[in-house]
Copies of this chain bind each other. A is one copy, B any other.
């Protein structure tokens, strides 16, 4: 055999391998991709599809209109870190003691336990052994110590920061909090331009680099969480809004929408739309502090009225998730983990102790009934239960609050005394569940608990500002 023949044989072999490889990468046969886009402290009513008159969000709206949007979509906590601990594990975070934001103020508490307990598996931990490449772009907020680092919790790639927030503009990194330098394990990160844009760019980059393998991308934006910072160009679009903070807020949400659009566009361009499930939520309701609007819901971030825990909630997957559908039964962010894992072909067993369920069969009509007859929350001194249309909130300084969400979506009429039996039943259910939960691992900051009570007594904007 002369050299030419050998070369041809090798060439043929390589060609075969390539074609085979191409074939296996054919979207139709490949495991689906997951993109989980999370906004931070976004007001429920501050998107086009949830009713905003002030902010246009055509890209997020497109996700909603071309996918299924959920009008009763909840997060499992009204604040960031526990909400993330919940949705990344599929388990109500209080069931493993992650009730609170990371808080090392309790003297004598071992800081080695300040993070998502190592007993828990993230979505990335579950998808990785199934052949997925898992990337996190943005905010982590589940522990700063090395043992809690995203690269130790199933993620292959990380571009972001481990804390709870970050400056939007480039500033001298000081290693502390919002000015910590961007970390990245796959390249030397470029200086920040405007953080939301930089995250969008990294997400697109992730998609393009991994288009040929199944991937899970956690696009963890921190817009519109404080600090309130927007570009001059974006601010100009909202110059008609008098309140400065609201103006900045609108510009920040606008920029978030632009970057969600970039992600959608990259998926389309790479021909991955039919093979990619995109989810969108906010990690909790909007706080008063960033001028967000949770209309028509009462309350805000940090409390258990609907404004604190009901969030924009979208699933989008061309050809699989019903397009233009509005799903009204209660669902929870804890459903994402089992939805992703089972959609990827994995199995969620009883041993996984997930509180969420796979939503796909419900929205496709394969499964009858409701995903959740009851949802429960515990946050420091407060607890709440939703059972069908009834919602009960329990606080230590007042009688129980009972609302019928069917008639009273804004939780204006406490009907506890008119419905004593329902109140008693829900209190007992909630109480039993509460005592079943473990003691919180790390304790909440103190002053917050009292301030929290005050937030129930404030007046909130229940209709959209024009």
Which A residues contact B (CB, under 8 angstroms)? 95, 97, 105-110, 112-113, 117, 381, 396-398, 428, 431-433, 435-439, 441, 443, 445-451, 453-454
Contacts and interface: CB of A to CB of B under 8 A. Distances in A.
A127 B436 CA distance: 41
Contacts of A447: 436
Nearest to A450: B436
Contact of A428 (B397, B432, B441, B451): B397
Nearest to A448: B436
B106 A432 contact: no
A393 to B, nearest CB: 15
A446 B440 CA distance: 11
Nearest to A96: B107
A433 B396 CA distance: 12
A108 B107 contact: no
Contact of A453 (B398, B435, B437): B435
A21 to B, nearest CB: 44
Contact of A446 (B110, B432, B437): B437
Contact of A435 (B95, B107, B396, B438): B396
Q: Is the interface of A mostly helix, strand, loop or mixed?
A: loop
A442 to B, nearest CB: 8
Contact of A443 (B113, B431, B439, B454): B439
Given A107-B117, A110-B108, A441-B107, A450 B433 contact: yes
Which 10 pairs from chain A and chain B are nearest by CB? A436-B450, A438-B446, A108-B113, A435-B449, A107-B441, A397-B431, A107-B113, A108-B110, A432-B450, A381-B435
Contacts of A397: 428, 431-432, 435
A370 B450 CA distance: 25
A112 B428 CA distance: 37
B436 A108 contact: no
Nearest to A447: B436
B450 A398 contact: no
A441 B105 contact: no
Contacts of A106: 438-439, 441
Contacts of A450: 432-433, 435-436
Nearest to A436: B450
B451 A105 contact: no
A107 B404 CA distance: 38
Given A107-B97, A397-B428, A446 B436 contact: yes
Nearest to A438: B446
A109 B112 CA distance: 11
A431 to B, nearest CB: 5
11 contacts: A95-B446, A108-B113, A397-B435, A432-B453, A432-B454, A435-B449, A436-B447, A436-B448, A436-B450, A438-B445, A439-B443
Contacts of A112: 108
A436 B117 CA distance: 26
Given A396-B435, A436-B446, 20 more contacts: A97-B107, A105-B438, A106-B439, A107-B113, A107-B117, A108-B109, A108-B110, A397-B428, A398-B428, A432-B450, A432-B453, A432-B454, A433-B450, A435-B449, A435-B450, A436-B449, A436-B451, A438-B443, A439-B443, A439-B446
